[in-house]
Chains A and B, each alone.
Chain A
Amino acid sequence: MEMLAPLIFLALLATAGFLFYKKASLIKKTILLGKSEIQYEQPAHRWKQVLLLAFGQKKMFKNPLVAFLHLIIYAGFIIINVEVLEIVIDGITGKHRVFLPYIGSFYTYFINVFEILAFGVTVVCVIFLVRRNVLYIKRLSSNDLAGWPKTDANLILVVEIVLMSLFFLMNGADQALQNLQVAHYAPTGSFIVSSMLVPSLSQLSADTLLLIERSAWWLHIIGILAFLNYLPYSKHLHIILAFPSAYFSSLEPAGKMKNMPSVQNEVLYAVDPSKAPTDATPPATFGAKDIFDLNWKSLMEAYSCTECGRCSAACPATTTGKLLSPRKIMMATRDRLEEVAQNINKNTNFIDDQKTLLHNYISVEELRACTTCNACVEACPVSLSPLDIIMELRRSLIMEESNAPSEWNNTFSNIENNFAPWKFSPEDRENWAKEI
């Protein structure tokens, strides 16, 4: 067994790594199906966004209490990874607590920090479960999350609690074994949280303790590897993609809409045909009907969305009972992306499935309810933009399908003929000035 354990461990690690790599590559490939009209300029400013939004969680602090709780989980997650590094080295080398001899008494100090964090994480996960399942916080219990998304959210919290408990159990059993002076279990000093388990664990025999310690150790690391592979299927993917999303988030005034140079040129050539190049070909499509027509930033954002619903809680359409919910826009886009990814995975190339993001996943009624108020973008802790997706779909609706409510068609013809959205004579535009 002594010889075998590192081999089994390596095999596990390699399998988990390989599976994760495969799924991550597929997601990357899917995201890159989008158009590449992305802005890269001002890298210094962009790194600042990463620091503020992703590392600093600046926007989370609009609600300081929740931000603090989330920060505990987040800091816990990052810092506890240092402990996982030791576990991995232990696993590969067949050693036990490999860092201990090198840093001596600091070791106890480090593990204590991890344990305090792990305890914090456990408590916060319980609080978050209560918020979701007992207090029914509105944005966390809306219809958007019915079914799998709700399970996903709860599952993550439960798994984190289990992982943290295994960590404590492992350390507690270790200390009990140290007390029995079992070989291999060098004295580490007492750990702040898990030492509380020692009195009850000390009732058990050395063999049982060994079994508990080893099982907890293995389950803990298997759990972490499984969690890693669960990420790409979950809203929890935001812990990775929040960083590039913050980097690529728009640096322009929020009110500015993306220009369509193709249409700009079409209009220019229409008024001034002499400017038209002889080989001018009109663009194939206008706006976005499906994910292929969106830019890859929007697609990445769909995968980064943590389904927190802050956008929808701020959205004037959602809060007044319209069908539109910006969170649902993000989730629908991701669902469609996943469907396309499966399609490509199966058929090597995408085979038309007679479906599109527009209509099959996002309805006309939803799109028409948006006031372009930017509340969703402002509210999103990662600065994702459901509005970008909405606008691209609206463009397709109008320019590809001429699908507009009749009032809008009137507005359009008024603008075109009278230069104002209402039916007034352009001659009367300055009449007000004569009345002062």
Chain B
Amino acid sequence: MKVNTMAEMMASGTMPEYLFWVGCAGSFDQRAQKITKAFSLILDKVGISYAILGKEEACTGDPARRAGNEFLFQMMAYQNIQVMNAYGVKKIITTCPHCFNTIKNEYPELGGNYEVIHHTTLLQSLINEGKIILKEGGAFKGKKISYHDSCYLGRANNIYEAPRKVLEILDAELIEMKRCRSNGLCCGAGGAQMFKEEEPGTTRINIERAEEAVATGAQIIASACPFCNTMLTDGIKNKEKENEMAVLDIAELIAESMA
């Protein structure tokens, strides 16, 4: 399977329907790369025309802005918007809620106007259109799955239903954690916390969340954000439950179940 870059597409005189914005975690983090690969496999199978920016993609600036470094954010935003506008990008899909939020909500007033779609929303519409067909007796049938709301998808952008609707087709048992949807507990990574040591406290946020996840008795924690994924995986390891439960992105669950 070949993943095209915008530059390659441009050279061959075509334009993809979507730009797949991979994000830094999806590009470099070993665990998140698996999510990226799973999602591009789905796109490929369904026959969606897409391309990535490849080397021309740069951090959206989300962690810099939220740490307080507006200069760096503006620099990154400027650079990315220049690149995307030069390609005439119209629609963007991304597997990262932070990139999603920044490009969708914060780039427009800086001159970057695109239709931005999170992968869970795209998956939901592909399912509705009957374009995603699952294997008979899929691997997750009857399994207990609990979905962890990402702050930047949920509270920040009011996307609560799409990921849950996608999970429904797995024919699994969906259980909610004690704090879910708009009350969902953060994984601890947002606001550039991912990139520094947590401030002193009585426990870590990801451990507290992992405890709630463990309490559901689910075998799978479904995530929709590469950072949540890392934080929860660490939390579950800390609770020594890594053999009983796995943290998987919704794209991975679907990719593995597709016919």
Chain A contacts to B: CB under 8 angstroms: 62, 252-257, 259-260, 263-264, 266-268, 271, 286-287, 314, 316-317, 319-324, 365, 368-375, 377-379, 391, 394-399, 404-405, 407-408, 410-412, 415-416, 419-422, 424, 426-430, 432-433, 435-436
* B176: min CB distance to chain A, Å: 16
Q: Is the CB of A397 within 8 A of B68?
A: yes
Question: Which residues of B186-220 have CB atoms within 8 Å of chain A's CB atoms?
Answer: 186, 188-205, 208
Which candidate, B131-139, B150-158, B162-170, is the interface stretch facing chain A? B150-158
Point out the residues of chain A lying under 8 angstroms from B237, CB to CB.
none
Given contacts A287-B68, A398-B68, contact A254 B156 (CB under 8 A): yes
* B31: min CB distance to chain A, Å: 12
User: Of A374, A394, A405, which one neighbours B155 at CB under 8 angstroms?
Assistant: A374
Which candidate, B86-94, B105-113, B122-130, B238-246, is the interface stretch facing chain A? B105-113
Interface membership of B115, Cβ < 8 A: no
* A239: min CB distance to chain B, Å: 26
Interface membership of B75, Cβ < 8 A: yes
Interface membership of B144, Cβ < 8 A: no
User: Of A365, A373, A433, which one neighbours B199 at CB under 8 angstroms?
Assistant: A365
Q: Is the CB of B105 within 8 A of A253?
A: yes
Point out the residues of chain A lying under 8 angstroms from B36, CB to CB.
432
User: Of A267, A374, A378, which one neighbours B78 at CB under 8 angstroms?
Assistant: A267
Given contacts A253-B101, A257-B66, contact A316 B55 (CB under 8 A): no
Given contacts A394-B68, A415-B61, A436-B37, contact A256 B105 (CB under 8 A): yes
Among A255, A395, A435, chain B packs the most CB atoms within 10 A around the CB of: A255
Q: Is the CB of A259 within 8 A of B69?
A: no
* A310: min CB distance to chain B, Å: 11
**14 A-B pairs (CB sep. < 8 Å):** A62-B183, A253-B158, A263-B71, A320-B202, A324-B199, A371-B188, A371-B190, A374-B151, A378-B183, A410-B195, A411-B67, A419-B58, A420-B27, A429-B57
Point out the residues of chain A lying under 8 angstroms from B186, CB to CB.
316, 371, 373, 375
Point out the residues of chain A lying under 8 angstroms from B185, CB to CB.
316, 375
Q: Is the CB of B59 within 8 A of A421?
A: yes
Q: Is the CB of B68 within 8 A of A375?
A: no
Q: Is the CB of A372 within 8 A of B105?
A: no
Interface membership of B72, Cβ < 8 A: yes
User: Of B61, B183, B202, which one neighbours A314 at CB under 8 angstroms?
Assistant: B183
Q: Is the CB of A267 within 8 A of B68?
A: no
Point out the residues of chain B lying under 8 angstroms from A422, CB to CB.
24, 28-29
Given contacts A266-B71, A316-B188, A429-B57, contact A373 B158 (CB under 8 A): no
Interface membership of B33, Cβ < 8 A: yes
User: Of B156, B189, B199, B208, which one neighbours A323 at CB under 8 angstroms?
Assistant: B199
User: Of B59, B182, B195, B201, which one neighbours A317 at CB under 8 angstroms?
Assistant: B201
Q: Is the CB of A436 within 8 A of B1?
A: yes
Distance of A405 Cα from B201 Cα, bound (Å)? 17
Point out the residues of chain B lying under 8 angstroms from A368, CB to CB.
196, 199
Question: Which residues of B45-68 have CB atoms within 8 Å of chain A's CB atoms?
Answer: 52, 54-55, 57-59, 61, 63-68
User: Of A259, A286, A416, which one neighbours B72 at CB under 8 angstroms?
Assistant: A416
Given contacts A316-B188, A320-B205, A373-B155, contact A429 B75 (CB under 8 A): no
User: Of B59, B151, B156, which one neighbours A415 at CB under 8 angstroms?
Assistant: B59
Interface membership of B5, Cβ < 8 A: yes
Distance of A316 Cα from B212 Cα, bound (Å)? 13
Q: Is the CB of A432 within 8 A of B33?
A: yes
Q: Is the CB of A412 within 8 A of B28?
A: no
Given contacts A415-B72, A416-B75, A421-B24, contact A321 B203 (CB under 8 A): yes
Q: Is the CB of A433 within 8 A of B67?
A: no
Considering the complex, give the chain A residue whose CB is closest to the CB of B57.
Answer: A429
Rank and list the top 8 A-B pairs by shortest CB-CB distance, nearest first. A255-B156, A321-B202, A398-B68, A372-B191, A419-B58, A321-B201, A394-B68, A373-B186
Q: Is the CB of A433 within 8 A of B70?
A: no
Interface membership of B76, Cβ < 8 A: yes
Q: Is the CB of A322 within 8 A of B199?
A: yes
Q: Is the CB of B199 within 8 A of A369?
A: yes
